[in-house]
Structure 1
Amino acid sequence: MLLRNQMDTTSYQQKYFRPSCLPTLNLRFNNGDFFLPYYEKTHDQIQVPKELTRTPEDTLLNYFSILREAENMGGRSCGSIGQALIPFPLAYNFLSKNYQIKLSYEDYLNLFAGVGHTNLIKLCQVPDGKRGLRFFYEIETIEGFEGKRAEYFGYSYGFIQLIHEEGGYRISDLQQHQEDFLCAPYHGWSHDGESVIEVKYGNWCKLIQVIYPTIKSGYVKNICFHGRDGADHCLMFITLTNGTDIEIAQFRKVGIEKWKQIKMKPEEECLTEKGD
């Protein structure tokens, strides 16, 4: 099998060094008048309008559109940025009641320390069996660091869980991971979906009989193979801005059966010793 570290090194690395050119998705509240009712209000004085949370997609697009205008950089020499801290109390109320119990408003605000602007560039629902509503997202932020006058672009991704609460959809859990732009080009296989399949399911599990051509649709990548167990397997990945493929779902079917979502862990099921 041809692994990515056997490919041309220069062309391989370049896909990790290029930044995103995707359009911004969170553009719903460009008019500053939207925030007028929330001036000088604390988070416990705010009710989220029900029309902002009618569907899961509405909740997330409106949540990130509000955060787009939020800034928590501790002041910049050029003056105010966006709506400064005003959007944060409103955004906090997009969290479910139980999530707010786990995450205080002060801790929530600290999550955005150094962030001056947020663009949502990827959003899609993730197959999640019977566990509820789960979405993948990726954001592009403009950040400033103490002691430096310049701002920098940062990229993060994660998963968001939603529940229906108080006549609308609320965020019940949110994970966020920062992307790096140096490990992937120099330590490649674990960042590349095709190589992940070859190593984990081929070399480790000895499961692959035939790998089918990769199917790409935008930033979603499906890699399928026929296994020595007589079943077809298909893994879904999302490609991040830094070029890394993130696995989001696994499926398996035998013959004409319907696809069933599974969760196989090659590291635990196929390797008898760590480091093999």
Structure 2
Amino acid sequence: MNMQKRNQMDKTSIHQKYFRPSCLKALNLRFGWEFYSLFSEKPHDQIKLPSELTRTPEDTLLNYFSVLREAENMGGRSCGTVGQARTPFPIAYNFLSKEYQNKLSYDEYFNSFAGVGHTSLIKLCRVPDIKHGIRFFYEIETIEGSLDKRAEYFGYYYGFIQLVNEKDGYQISDLSKIEEDFLCAPYHGWSHDAEAVVEVKYGGWCKLIQKRYPTITNGYVKNIYFQGNDGADYCMIFFTLTNGTDVEIAQFRKVGNKEWKQVNMKPEEECLTEKTDDNF
């Protein structure tokens, strides 16, 4: 086999990871139809969640996504009722803190699920928070559709969730939701790959890497360590999404025998004074 053909095969193999959706099991499987019947036809402002649902941060999030598992806001389907229809939305809204609800009305919350007919939580992990708050990473797989399209399709999203401990338990105080793209990654290089991101941003831009060590991978978590030219050691944590993209989660720095300390480096702002084509 000639070298050109082998390189093409290697490139094709690498790109395949971006085209193959997740096979992970759903994590949000806590409730059956009996649970929803307790709140049937109640508006959001007449619902009181049992305290055991929000006892710990993990309970809050697993229960929140379990409530939303069969929530449907697709504008009506010809096959009839889908899942638990609209019943889960007012229940789920009560997992939000009062302050968050003041920023996000129920109607806005409900409309944010437009087109969604089913939600599976496939990744959930508490992550370091530089402000010492309660912060989680999550990824969901949705089945979506609309009256404009007869076929349903899968959608993937990820984001971060902040929680606060209130008198009624742990409540969601902020939630981001970012769509995953399945075409940019296989066709546009380094910015989707953890090792390349570290080499380009912290090596090429910041001139910080003296020696990079082999990546330590555990499931969808990647830890990348390197020795810095400033005498410190660094650890960059990435999570791999369903679309194959690696997302930077946290950065840690250690000097000598001292403990790891979380930092917030911004190579685009701190290391680049002028971007050229040579940087990408």
TM range (shorter): over 0.9
Determine if the alignment matches structure 1 residue 234 to structure 2 residue 231: no
Measured in 1, the distance between the counterparts of 2:146 and 2:89 equals 20
When the two structures are superposed, what TM-score results if normalisation uses the length of structure 1?
Answer: 0.96
Give runs of aligned pairs for residues 34-53 of structure 1, distance below 5 A. Answer: 34-53=35-54
Residues 55 and 7 of structure 1: CA distance in aligned 2, closer, same or farther (over 3 Å):
farther
Which whole-Å CA distance do the structure 2 matches of 1:227 and 1:165 have between them?
42
In the alignment, the residues of structure 1 paired with residue 49 and residue 101 of structure 2 have an alpha-carbon distance, to the nearest angstrom, of 14
Kept in 1: contact 2:77–2:147 (CA 8 A): no
- Quote the residue 1:19 is aligned against: 21
Does 1:216 pair with 2:217?
Answer: yes
RMSD after superposition: 1.4
Partner of 1:142: 143
Offset of residue 145 of structure 1:
2.7
Residues in 1 aligned to 2:90 and 2:148: alpha-carbon distance in whole angstroms: 28
Q: Show the counterpart of 1:206.
A: 207
Identity among equivalent pairs (%): 74
Report the counterpart of residue 110 of structure 1 in structure 2: 111
Deviating above 4 A after TM superposition, structure 1's stretches of 4 or more consecutive aligned residues are: none
Query: Separation in 1 of the partners of 2:85 and 2:163?
Result: 27
Unaligned runs of 5+ in 2: 1-6
Deviation at 1:272, TM superposition (A): 1.1
Deviations 1:62-101 (A, max 9, x none): 0000000211111111110111000100100000000000
Could you report, residue by residue, the CA deviation over 1:145-190 in whole angstroms, capped at 9, with x for unpaired residues? 3321110000000000000113300000000000010000000200
Whole-angstrom CA distance in 2 between matches of 1:251 and 1:89: 40
| Structure 1 residue ranges without an equivalent (≥5) | none
Give 1:36 deviation, angstroms.
Answer: 1.1
Judged with a 3 Å threshold, the aligned counterparts in structure 2 of structure 1 residues 21 and 237 are, in CA distance, closer, same or farther, namely same
For 2:81 and 2:105, the matched residues in 1 are separated by: 26
Aligned twin of 1:257: 258
Aligned counterparts of 2:275 and 2:172: Cα–Cα separation in 1: 37
Secondary structure, aligned partner of 1:155: strand
1:174 maps to: 175
CA distance in 2, matches of 1:37, 1:146: 30
SS in 2 for 1:74: coil
Asked if 1:9 corresponds to 2:11, the answer is: yes
Q: Secondary structure at the match of 2:17?
A: helix
Hey, what's the Cα distance between the residues in 2 that align with 1:171 and 1:183?
31
> What secondary structure sits across from 2:150 in the alignment?
coil
Q: Which residue of 2 aligns with 1:33?
A: 34
Q: Is the 8 A contact 2:82 2:117 kept in 1?
A: yes
Cα distance in structure 1, aligned partners of 2:167 and 2:92: 16
**Counterpart residue identity of residue 160, structure 1:** I
Give secondary structure in 2 for the equivalent of 1:150.
Answer: strand
Deviation per CA, 1:95-120, whole angstroms, max 9, x where unpaired?
00000000000000000000000000
In the alignment, the residues of structure 2 paired with residue 97 and residue 166 of structure 1 have an alpha-carbon distance, to the nearest angstrom, of 11
User: Aligned-pair distance for 1:129?
Assistant: 2.9
Query: In the alignment, is residue 54 of structure 1 matched against residue 55 of structure 2?
Result: yes
